[in-house]
Amino acid sequence: MKLARRKVLQLIGLLGAPSVFLLVFFCGPLLTMLVYSFLTPGIYGGVDWVFSHLNYGRILGWADTRYEKFDPVFLGIFLRSLRLAGLTVVTSLLVSYPAAFWISRMSPGRRDFAIFLVTLPFFVSLIVRLFAWVLILRPTGFLNQGLMGIGITSDPIEFLYSDFAVILGMTYVFIPFMFLPLYGSIEKLDIAQLEASSDLGATRVQTFWKVVLPATMPGIIGGSIITFIPSLGNFIVPSVLGGAKVLMIGNLIEQQFLSARNWPFGSALAMMVMAAVLLLLVVQLRLARRGDA
Amino acid sequence: MTALDGVSLKLASAEFVTLLGPSGCGKTTLLRCISGFETLDAGDVLIDGAAVTQMPAHRRPVNTVFQRYALFNHMSVARNVGYALEIAGNDKATIRTRVSEMLELVGLEGMEKRSVSQLSGGQQQRVALARALAGKPKLLLLDEPLSALDKNLRQKMQQELKAIQRELGIGFVFVTHDQEEALTMSDRIAVLAHGRIQQIDVPSVLYESPANLFTADFLGESNLLPVAIDGGQASLADGQSFATTCASRQATLLLRPEALGLAKPEGPKLSFSGRIAETYYSGKDHQITLETAAFGTVRALIRSGATAPEVGADLTLHAPASGLHLIDEVAE
């Protein structure tokens, strides 16, 4: 009994501080946002403590008052964010998967160096890296000058401030997020299983679909989720590379809090992002559980 | 680097051949040449009379049981076993029937739905075997499949493997470094060392009359004594001699520990006297290490009887001169 009590005390000692920290600094602000999203915006900013469901109505279609009208543009921005985040996941997966395969087959020394290279961008400020992309993509940038130099185009192409630029930028930023979980599951892949598949009559393509892909699925799902979540709420990449043309939900939330000073509406938008992410996690858990059985 | 050199191996259909040798002797490489995972610099692999040398692994009519099984962890037992049939494009009913047949063959009836990771080592071994046999290969290759199992299970699997091979009537090429395993299971054993086949023959011939010192030393326990031969008489260092037909002037006598006994046999014999340096009791017999003046250490295996040999005692052991085997090689 004495032992059990000591264990409990140990656990409290170890977990107490982080639990309190998470409660105060993570759950606290989230709860505040949830409550605010059901309040009425104050006339000079802030909130009035009057219940209102119209913040959600403005996004989803039932608000029809003088000040608070439903506007399909909000839902449009939300859907565009989902689309851009989804495409970012796809492109970073397409880049990271072969790279992870290649790196996992290297000699240990070169492998460590390659992984270091993948994580290298973390050491440079995100803003600096994104403005470097502006220099590359703008009409008088390196890319357009190169293309015009070799005569592929006579007029500069509008790369910047497009969906393309935003997807490119987010892919670039989130490749390490996709790469590391992928690498984890690809490195664990037993080469003998590939030989066994081939031995049992499968071509390389069949082996890929039936053995390699299912065996590395945990890495694909893990990498996709931790790429999708920050992509969906991202506002730095679209504001630098997307400008005013490619507005994502993150930019909209930022505007509501900082420029429009409509905190309840900003909170409602943020809750929509949260809901989308939670839905995704629930689906993933369901799939994972079915995979186990 | 040359892993294999001048290897020639021919299997009768439905033969159980074991590739036996120390690690690094090239036995696994030879197996991978047959399965198609290694390419030959020179030479040919023929299966059923047809050259498959240029054929990629997935088209060869052979299947392999891998050393650590290499089962597909993300699939059920049934999908593992049915994999070859699924790849070949069989319909579901055919696959299901064949899978349950195979599981019955290896003693895993009704385990179709299990996940591979829920199985014990022995069961995984059986799934690997069923998976390799499901596609009806002409030849089954087994790469040290029993090395990960404990001793009791290993002996049981040895007997089952042999029984399955007899039932199916297809050729098995079995790789092992365990000589006991090789002796009990094989129709023929190929002893490999340094990338070459040292000798290939039925187990009893290999054990009783090995062609060279490597085989004699590698298979079982042995006393190797130098002899000089003159006029049809082979003489040992202490002057004892026996008749031989060997034509060389120098050779090596192979004396298996179990050939030595306490009883004096009728007719010509060899005798060894010395002091007992060590004895081990193993149940049915005593292993004795005898220090002799003329030959140094001589090892013997004496049936357990009324008198237990004691360390330090003097002992004389005899071996009948009939059945002595001379190897036409001189030990260094």
What is the rounded distance in angstroms from the CA atom of residue B148 to the CA atom of residue B212? 31
Q: Is B87 on the interface with A (CB under 8 A)?
A: yes
- Locate the chain A residue with the closest alpha carbon to B64: A199
- Helix, strand or coil, per DSSP, at residue B67: coil
CB-CB neighbors (< 8 A) of A193 in chain B: 70-73
Question: Which three-class secondary structure state does DSSP give residue B283?
Answer: coil
**Residue length, chain B?**
332
User: Which residue in B63, B72, B131 is closest to A211 by CB distance?
Assistant: B72
B317 in Cβ contact with B281 (< 8 Å)? no
Beta-carbon separation of B74 and A217 below 8 A: yes
Question: Taking the C-alpha atoms of B19, B23, B24 and B26 in order, what is their torsion angle to the nearest 10 degrees?
Answer: 10
Residue B10: inside a domain, yes or no?
A: no
What's the pLDDT at B170? 92
Residue holding tokens 């069961």? B123
Give yes or no: residues B302 and B154 share one domain.
no
For residues B194 and B294, state if they share a domain: no
Contact assignment for B58 to A201 by CB distance below 8 Å: yes
Strand partners, B139: B62, B171
Q: What is the pLDDT of residues A64-88, one digit of tens each?
A: 887 788 888 999 999 999 999 999 9
- Residue B235 sits in a domain whose CATH number is 2.40.50.140
| B83 contacts chain A (CB < 8 A) | yes
Q: Is B44 in the same domain as B127?
A: yes
Q: Tell me how close the Cα of A190 comes to any Cα of chain B, in angstroms.
A: 7
- Among the candidates B199, B214, B229, a domain finishes at B214
Q: Are residues B31 and B134 in the same domain?
A: yes
Contact status of B308 with chain A (Cβ, < 8 Å): no
Number of domains in chain B: 2
What is residue B262's predicted lDDT score, i.e. its pLDDT?
Answer: 85
Extract the residue ranges of chain A whose pLDDT is less than 70: 1-2, 291-293
Q: Which residues of A touch B87 (CB under 8 A)?
A: 200-202, 206, 210
**pLDDT at residue A293, rounded to an integer:** 44
Same structural domain, B197 and B245:
no
- Pairwise CA distance, residues A91 & A79, whole Å: 18
Domain at B118, CATH number: 3.40.50.300
Portion 175-204 of A in contact with B at CB < 8 A: 190, 192-193, 195-203
Kindly indicate the confidence band of residue B306, based on its pLDDT and cuts at 50, 70 and 90. Answer: low
Q: CB–CB of A203 and B58 under 8 A?
A: yes
Question: In terms of residue numbers, what domain contains B160?
Answer: 16-214
Q: How far is Cα B201 from Cα B215, in angstroms, rounded to an integer? A: 11
**Cross-chain Cβ contact B70/A214 below 8 Å:** no
User: In this structure, which amino acid lies at residue B31?
Assistant: L
B29 touches chain A (CB under 8 A): no
Can you tell me whether residue A21 is helix, strand or coil?
Answer: helix
Residue B309 has pLDDT above 90, yes or no: no
Question: Among B214, B229, B256, which residue terminates a domain?
Answer: B214
Contact with chain A for residue B68, Cβ under 8 A? yes
* Predicted pLDDT at B2: 72
DSSP string across B202-223: -HHHHHHS-SSHHHHHHSS--E
List, in order of start, the domains of chain A with CATH numbers. Answer: 75-245 (1.10.3720.10)
A217-232 vs A263-292: helix crossing angle, rounded to 10: 180
Tell me the mean pLDDT in the region B293-317: 83
Half-sphere exposure of residue B101, counting CA atoms within 13 Å on the CB side? 12
CA distance B164 to B62: 16
* Cα distance from N-terminal residue to C-terminal residue, chain A: 38
User: How far is A161 from B4, CA to CA, in rounded Å?
Assistant: 63
A225 touches chain B (CB under 8 A): no
- Decide if B37 and A195 are in contact by the 8 Å CB cutoff: yes
Residue type, A138: R
Mean pLDDT comparison of A31-40, B146-155, B249-258, highest-scoring range: A31-40
Chain B residue with CA closest to A195: the answer is B37
B140-157 per-residue burial string, b: 16 or more CB within 10 A, e: under 16: bbbbbbbeebeeeebeeb
Q: Which H or E run includes B236?
A: none
Give yes or no for A239 touching B (CB within 8 A): no
**Chain B residues close to A211, C-beta within 8 Å:** 72
Structure tokens at A64: 């029809």
Residue B60 — pLDDT band, cuts 50, 70, 90?
very high
Q: Rounded to an integer, what is the distance from CA A125 to the centroid of its chain?
A: 18
Q: From the DSSP assignment, how many helices (H) and strands (E) are in chain A?
A: 15, 2
Q: Pick from B186, B187, B208, B212: which is nearest to B199 by CA?
A: B212
Q: Which of A274, A227, A285 is nearest to A34 (CA)?
A: A274
The reply to whether B74 touches chain A by the CB within 8 Å rule is yes
Give the tokens for residue B147. 């090395």
Q: What is the pLDDT of residue B242?
A: 86
B1 domain-assigned: no
- B143 and B86 inside one domain: yes
Chain B residue with CA closest to A211: the answer is B72
Same domain? For B24 and B129 the reply is yes
Cα–Cα distance, B131 to B99 (Å, whole number): 8
Q: Is A155 on the interface with B (CB under 8 A)?
A: no
Question: Within this chain, do residues B144 and B48 fall inside the same structural domain, yes or no?
Answer: yes
Report the first-to-last Cα separation within chain B, whole angstroms.
27
Q: Name the average pLDDT for chain B.
A: 89
Give yes or no for a contact between A265 and A58, defined as CB atoms under 8 angstroms apart: yes
CA distance B188 to chain A (A): 25
Task: Please provide the size of chain A in residues.
Answer: 293
Nearest CB neighbour to A200, from listed B56, B68, B135: B135
Q: Is the dihedral of CA A122, A125, A128, A130 positive or negative?
A: positive
Pairwise CA distance, residues A265 & A55, whole Å: 5
Q: Which long-range contacts (CB under 8 A, 24 or more apart) does B42-50 make?
A: B43/B7, B47/B138, B47/B139, B48/B138
Q: Which residues contact B167 (CB under 8 A, 6 or more apart)?
A: B105
Query: Which one, of B37, B36, B44, B78, lies nearest residue B61 by Cα?
Result: B36
**Nearest by Cα to B74 from A65, A226, A74, A221:** A221
Task: Please name the residues in contact with A170: beta carbons below 8 A apart, sequence gap of 6 or more.
Answer: A84, A85, A88, A231, A234, A237
For residue B170, what are the contacts with CB-CB under 8 A and spacing of at least 6?
A: B13, B14, B137, B138, B139, B140
Query: Do B204 and B240 lie in a common domain?
Result: no
What phi-psi label fits residue A151: left (phi over 0), alpha (psi between -120 and 50 degrees) or beta? Answer: left
Residue B271: inside a domain, yes or no?
yes
Task: Verify that B206 and B102 share a domain, yes or no.
Answer: yes
- Cβ atoms within 10 Å, residue A290: 8
Q: Which of B40-44, B103-107, B239-243 has the highest mean pLDDT?
A: B103-107
Whether B7 is covered by a domain: the verdict is no
- Predicted confidence (pLDDT) per residue in B35-59, tens digit: 999 888 888 888 888 888 889 999 9
Residues of chain B contacting residue A199, judged by C-beta atoms under 8 Å apart:
35, 37, 57-58, 62-64, 132
Mean pLDDT of B187-209: 91
Q: What is chain A's Cα-based Rg?
A: 24
CB-CB under 8 Å, A196 with B64 = yes
Residues 6+ apart with CB under 8 A from A182: A93, A96, A97, A100, A216, A219, A220, A223
pLDDT for the residue numbered A2: 64
- Sign of the C-alpha dihedral computed for residues A138, A141, A146 and A151 taken in this order: positive
Q: Are A134 and A240 in contact (CB under 8 A)?
A: yes
Residue B8 placed within a domain? no
Q: What is the mean pLDDT of residues B302-315?
A: 80
Note whether residue B188 is domain-resident.
yes
Q: Are residues B97 and B244 in the same domain?
A: no
pLDDT digits (tens, 9 = 90+) for B130-140: 999 999 999 99
Six token digits for residue A210: 């039936």
> Is B20 part of a structural domain of the chain?
yes
**Min CA distance, A250 vs chain B (Å)?**
38
A vs B: CB pairs below 8 A: 64
Give per-residue pLDDT as tens, A28-39. 999 999 999 999
- Residue reference for tokens 């003489």: B235
Please check whether residues B139 and B259 belong to one and the same domain.
no
ipTM confidence score: 0.82
| Cα–Cα distance for residue pair B278/B271, rounded to 1 Å | 19
Smallest CA–CA distance from B134 into chain A, residue: A200
The answer to whether residue B308 sits within a structural domain is yes
State the pLDDT at residue A1. Answer: 55
B39 contacts on A by Cβ (under 8 Å) = none
CA distance A194 to chain B (A): 8
Query: Among residues B158, B186, B214, which one ends one of the domains?
Result: B214
Residue B296 has pLDDT above 90, yes or no: no
In B, which residues are within 8 Å of A215 by CB distance?
72-74
Helix, strand, or coil here: B144? Answer: coil
Residue of A nearest to B135 (CA): A200
Q: Is the whole-model pTM more than 0.90?
A: no
